[in-house]
Amino acid sequence: MVRSGLGRICVSHSSVTMHSILGSCVRFLLLLVVVQAVALGQSGQQQVVVEVTSALRQRDFDGALKTLESALQVSPGNPQLRVLQGIAYSGKGDKKNALASYRRALKDAPDYLPALEGAAQLEYEAGSADAIPLLEHVLRLRPNDSTAHAMLAATAAKSGDCATAVKHFAESGEMLERQPDALRVYGVCLLKLKEDDKAVGVFQELVAAAPDDARARRDLAAVQLSAGHSQDALATLKPLLDGDTEVDTLHLAADVYEANQDTPNAVKCLRAAIVKDPKQIPLYVDFAEIAMNHQSFQAGVTMLDAGLKLQPNAAQLYLARGVLYVQMAQYDKAEADFAKAEQLDPSQGMSAAAQGMLAEEKNQDNPDKALARVRAELAREPNDAFLWYLQAAIISQKSPEPSSTEFAAGIRSAKHAVELQPSLTAAHNVLAKYYLDSGENALAAKECRLALEGSPSDQTALYHLVQALRKTGKTDEIPELLKRLAKARQDAAREEGERNRYKLVVNPAGAAN
């Protein structure tokens, strides 16, 4: 049930528009132009600059433009005057002409910082990628410009380039510290890059800045949970758990308690959340997941029944109940639930996979029958990677001869599954097994490595990789893989023990405890 910190944190990139960053930027730009004009010591131009600056400060943009028009007829290539013109247009809200003025200044003086900053500002505000080369130009001239770093970071984050964003956020210094929204984006990017501990630090700053902000506290707890610091997450959430706790907090607390092996409190939180908001479907689904993990299938079914009374058209609830029925070997009920889920929400595309899984479970002693059902589902959902994987796995369980057509069909199916969904670890594993069986050990090793990219602790992938490397004679890597495999085994054994530690039961009234 534990989702990633990312899943828990809702950050609107549009909220990080850096308005306040830009406010200070304009004032700075104006000062820079004045200082440079004075430094040039040209008395006529200096006089113009003084006049224009005064007009701009009084927000007399038309007056400033009139003065500049005359001066620019005399000195059309003067970048300082063009920048002042851009500022004046900006003040009027005429961003198109403002940008044209900055661009003209840059044509005459490509390294002129005020023009670069003015143009970058406008492009940034417009959300244009053209801001990036301008900001990079600024940073070449002034590498420690924290505003440019902050703007570049925000732009990169918006485009999904977290690696670049994190690099520039780190250089943004105080500019970032003053901007909670930007800081949150920084934290989210760190999470995306799997730098969980650094992300925790960022979200801790946010909580320190606003200790009473429930959202900031939930964000931090979610990130701590994702980073594996479940006790810290609990400590973070504790202040929110006294009194009238919000549903979102209870929902997250359930995750946190479960991660702390405190299933009774996890269940208590979920039940409280359901009482507060009985129509929130994910709460029932999470309850079912806890029930499943603790092999308390009937308790999960009972809770989902309650949810379905209130939400009779919730496809997710039927799907979840169907999965529980599969575990209870009540295949007819499972089949009915999967069909209902499909009927209610054909777009979710999960029920075909669920039907396939059901077919495999139901026909353990008859793989041909299971295959027929999976193929029927594939006819309906030809792009469902899980179904292609399932077909490959069922064929593999039959142990066909590597020279057989059935083996070829299995390997094709596995290949198609990984093509459709490269992140499907199980499909890479089954493909690796086919390659091992056919003696194509280098290909097997490659598939194992792909599986391990998404699931670094996958025991099957690690073991198959050891076998493939042994058979290819490339044994240098094996000692390290054996250590990883041993660690993965220990972790899995511990997790299995934790899952079995607590059982949910159904009380006579029918509610799960």
Partner 1 sequence: MQGISSRDVKAQQRPVPSGKPFHAQFTDVAKQAGLIAPTIYGGIDQKKYIVEANGCGCAFIDYDNDGWMDIFLLSGTRLEGAPPGATNRLYKNNRDGTFTDVTEKAGLTAVGWANGVCVGDYNNDGFDDLFVTYFGQNRLYRNNSDGTFTDVTKDAGLLESGPARWGAGCAWVDYNRDGHLDLFVSNYIRFSFEHAPVPGASSTCNWKGIPVNCGPRGLPAGRHLLYRNNGDGTFTDVTKESGIAAATESYGMTVVAADFDEDGWPDIFVACDSTPSLLFMNNHDGTFREEGVVRGVALSDDGMEQAGMGVGIGDYNLDGHLDLFKTHFIGDTCGLYRNDGKGSFDEMTRAAKVGVETSFTSWGAGMVDLDNDGYPDILFVTGSVYPEVEKKLPQYPYKTPRVLFRNLGNGTFEELETQGGSGITTPHSSRGCAFGDFDNDGDLDVLIVNMNEPPSLLRNDLNPMRNWIKFKLEGVKSNRSAIGARVLVHFGGKVQAQAVVSQSSYYSCNDPRLHFGIGEAKEVDVDVFWPNGLHEVFRKLSANRLVTIRETVGVIPSKGWKS
CA-nearest of 200, 191, 141, 150 to 174 is 150
Q: List binders of partner 1 among 54-73 (CB under 8 A).
A: none
Closer to partner 1 by Cβ: residue 102 or 407: 407
CB of 396 to partner 1, least distance (A): 9
Residue 487 in contact with partner 1, rule: CB under 8 A: no
- Give the whole-angstrom CA distance, residue 380 versus residue 374: 10
CA-nearest of 403, 416, 324 to 374 is 416
Q: List binders of partner 1 among 331-390 (CB under 8 A).
A: 364-368
Q: Sign of dihedral through CA atoms 338, 344, 346, 348?
A: negative
SS3 assignment, position 106: helix
How many H-runs (helices) and E-runs (strands) does the chain carry?
Answer: 29, 0
Q: Treating both helix axes as pointing N-terminal to C-terminal, what angle do 146-158 and 113-125 enclose, rounded to 10 degrees? A: 30
CB of 445 to partner 1, least distance (A): 14
Interacting residue with partner 1 among 129, 235, 372, 493 (CB under 8 A): 493
**Which of the stretches 52-60, 264-272, 384-392, 461-469 binds partner 1 when contact is defined by CB under 8 A?**
461-469
Closer to partner 1 by Cβ: residue 333 or 489: 489
> Measuring CA to CA, how many Å separate 481 from each of 25, 426, 463, 468?
53, 19, 8, 12
Residue 483 in contact with partner 1, rule: CB under 8 A: no
**Which of the stretches 22-30, 91-99, 153-161, 479-487 binds partner 1 when contact is defined by CB under 8 A?**
479-487
Residue 466 in contact with partner 1, rule: CB under 8 A: yes
Name 355's Cβ contacts closer than 8 Å, sequence gap at least 6: 335, 338, 339, 342, 373, 377
* Contact string 399-428 vs partner 1 (x = CB under 8 A): x-----------------------------
Residue 500 in contact with partner 1, rule: CB under 8 A: yes
Q: How many residues does the chain have?
A: 513
Closer to partner 1 by Cβ: residue 31 or 482: 482
Q: List binders of partner 1 among 431-450 (CB under 8 A).
A: 433, 437
**Which of the stretches 92-100, 136-144, 149-157, 486-494 binds partner 1 when contact is defined by CB under 8 A?**
486-494
Interacting residue with partner 1 among 18, 358, 462, 468 (CB under 8 A): 462
- Give the whole-angstrom CA distance, residue 377 versus residue 355: 7
CB of 388 to partner 1, least distance (A): 19
Residue 110 DSSP code: T
Name 82's Cβ contacts closer than 8 Å, sequence gap at least 6: 72, 101, 102, 104, 105, 108, 115
Q: Which residues bind partner 1 (CB under 8 A)?
A: 295, 364-368, 397-399, 429, 433, 437, 459-464, 466-467, 470, 475, 478, 482, 485-486, 489, 493, 496-501, 503
